[in-house]
Structure 1
Amino acid sequence: MPSWVPTLLKLAAVYNLAWGTFVVLYPRLPFDWLGLDVPNYPSIVQCLGMVIGVYGIGYWIAARDAATHWPIVLVGLLGKVFGPIGFVYTAFHGNLPWSMGLTILTNDVAWWLPFCAILVHAARIDEARLARETGLSLEQALRAAILPDGQSVYERSFQSPLLLVCVRHLGCTFCREMLADLGRQRDDVIRAGLTPVVVSMGTVAQAAPMLLAYGLNDVAHLSDPERRLYRALELPFGSFAQLFGCKTVWRAVAEGVVLRFGFGRMVGNGLQLSGTFVVRNGIIEQAHRHTSTADRADFKNLACGVTSGSMRTGVVS
């Protein structure tokens, strides 16, 4: 874990303990500051202060080893997200004054990014541990990946090259864009002599509606919920910038990817990055590993690269 993580969690702990203690001791004072009517039952506010203080104890514990105690950080983040959502809903319907939202900026919103970053780091550490404990070599993973006809990817690659399209979780809007790109370019890929195979972390049943939606219902699908093939292909978890950076936000919003493809329930690990690989004779001939969730692979370019003997990587910026 980066050195700033325990420092930030201890800061969050001190902040919560201080704020919680203050509310318990002086439940009426925040209302006086905001010029609001004091509630008839200040003990309710004191109970809220107690809960805030207890979170502080949790953050102090998590600061000792955030990679192990990441659920505490996750619960804290959920509270800091759902709390503001509840406030906005209530204030919008006129049941709370908007001025009460001032405390949300320091109590909740200010912690969103650092808490997300901590969870990303914790997931990457856990991924490295799993890779050490259960990781397969590339050949082992290709032999273990069984296609719908019963052949392994390794065996099939000696008959004809395969285009392995490893997508992010099935609810991701960029995963859907990736499948739409493959649907448009599949004929070019097949004409180049490659057989496309979609790899996801979802089950066959979970992936089937998505493949059908983009004209890929007759394309072979590999389910890899434990991400053994993803790890063997050296597809990492994304960093905070790779997952939520400017490029991702720009493409999702400004370029309208979310409007065109929507998004759904997360099926698989949301930190996983995508990648596309050409496998021939049991080895990787071409690879495009995404450097952000918003990257796009040019499948036709990858396929033509194999046909011409080139080792280039097809990328759409």
Structure 2
Amino acid sequence: MHRTCQGNNCRLLHRMKLVLIIAGLYHLIFAAWANFWPCGCYDLFGLQRPEHPALWRVIGLISGALGLALLLSARDPIRNWLIILLGAIKSILAVAFVVPAIARDDLPVTASWILLINDIIWLPPYLYILWAAIRAHAGIPPSRGVPYTIAEASAVYRLSSGETLAKASGERPLVLVFLRHFGCTFTRQILRGLQDLEREARKNNASLVLVHMLQSGTEVDYLGHNSNILRIADPRCELYRAFGLGKGGFLELFGPQVWWRGAISVIKGCGVGHLAGDGLQMPGAFVFHEGKIRSSQPARSAADLPDLASLFQYPPQQP
């Protein structure tokens, strides 16, 4: 997979590598300590020495194997995400077993220091790297390293009617509704209300245009009787990028507000389908006229729906 390294991305990648190197070295040191001084950790934290030091040495060997794997994964954290996933699973399982044991007094509270140093402090960076890997692997990469400008994209992309976006926007205002993937419950909610959106657009002498991430023609399976609405296919999300719509962060896609609104949408019967598009892509709505954005509503979360009444409250055009 091709990845570019520019600006802040390079700094983040460097930090990922540094964290993995430190984690790898720590686990190797812990492995040596557990094997050469199997009771040293217990003595340090005032714990009763184990009756079977060999078992503790085996745990140390597992830690050493993980340490070597983490050092190898530091060469390319995104590509070697599976190793980081194993590290995260190991930390999660340790927390899941040790914390209840402490709560039941099966282990003394001082055992939490071992859990903290050996597992808990590594879990956040593991999860961060895994999230970065998801973002890097999700969706189809754009064919261009440099995003289209609005003018370039308008000249290249065509509506389902055949005319370019530039030509169509010169004839009348367009309401461009950029959708999330078709399996998203919020996209389904938009599709259920398409007639209302179209009616609001016509009231303002504009045409409604849906922008989606499927290959041209395949979207009709999701539109049903609304397949007469104008559409633009953008499977590589290059038009999305031209209009400033990027990939969502964790809170934008999975935050409390998204879960709450999503539950309401499902209860209303919108449901959830399979992933049909880039699951990380953020939606938005724009009034586009004469090759220019007249009004915009970029989504702040995946749950944001287009509000055309507010979208058309933009200053009048200057002569």
Fold shared per TM-score above 0.5: yes
Which TM-score band (shorter chain)?
A: 0.5 to 0.7
Contact preservation (8 Å) 2:142, 2:237: no
1:225 is matched with 235
TM superposition shift of 1:205: 4.3
Matches within 5 A, 1:26-41: none
2:202 is matched with 190
Q: Which residue among 260, 264, 277 is the counterpart of 1:268? A: 277
Contact preservation (8 Å) 1:59, 1:72: no
2:81 is matched with 73
Contact preservation (8 Å) 2:87, 2:126: no
1:204 is matched with 216
How far apart, CA to CA, are the structure 2 residues paired with 1:60 and 1:53? 11
How far apart, CA to CA, are the structure 1 residues paired with 2:72 and 2:99? 24
Deviations 1:220-258 (A, max 9, x none): 2221111110111011212222222222223223xx224
Taking a change above 3 Å as real, the CA distance of residues 61 and 100 of structure 1, as seen in their structure-2 partners, is closer
2:97 is matched with 102
Taking a change above 3 Å as real, the CA distance of residues 11 and 140 of structure 1, as seen in their structure-2 partners, is same
User: How many pairs were matched up?
Assistant: 271
Report the residue type matching 1:252 in the other structure. Answer: G
Matches within 5 A, 1:1-317: 1-2=11-12, 5-6=16-17, 8-10=19-21, 13=24, 56-64=67-75, 68-73=76-81, 76-77=84-85, 102=97, 114-121=125-132, 123=135, 133-212=145-224, 216-253=226-263, 256-259=264-267, 260-302=269-311, 304-305=312-313, 309=316
How far apart, CA to CA, are the structure 1 residues paired with 2:256 and 2:175? 29
Report the residue type matching 2:255 in the other structure. Answer: G
Contact preservation (8 Å) 1:124, 1:237: no
Contact preservation (8 Å) 2:85, 2:130: no
Gaps of 5+ in 1: 25-41, 88-98, 312-317
SS in 1 for 2:236: coil
How far apart, CA to CA, are the structure 2 residues paired with 1:116 and 1:266? 22
The Cα RMSD (Å) is 4.4
How far apart, CA to CA, are the structure 2 residues paired with 1:298 and 1:201? 21
Contact preservation (8 Å) 1:170, 1:176: yes
How far apart, CA to CA, are the structure 2 residues paired with 1:281 and 1:176? 30
Contact preservation (8 Å) 1:167, 1:274: yes
TM-score (norm 2): 0.65
Taking a change above 3 Å as real, the CA distance of residues 238 and 71 of structure 1, as seen in their structure-2 partners, is same
Percentage of pairs with the same residue? 27
Taking a change above 3 Å as real, the CA distance of residues 104 and 118 of structure 1, as seen in their structure-2 partners, is farther
TM superposition shift of 1:295: 1.6
More helix by share: 1
How far apart, CA to CA, are the structure 1 residues paired with 2:163 and 2:31? 61
Contact preservation (8 Å) 1:73, 1:115: no
Contact preservation (8 Å) 2:66, 2:87: no
Contact preservation (8 Å) 1:172, 1:263: yes
TM superposition shift of 1:11: 6.0
Contact preservation (8 Å) 1:59, 1:73: no
Gaps of 5+ in 2: 1-10, 36-54, 101-114
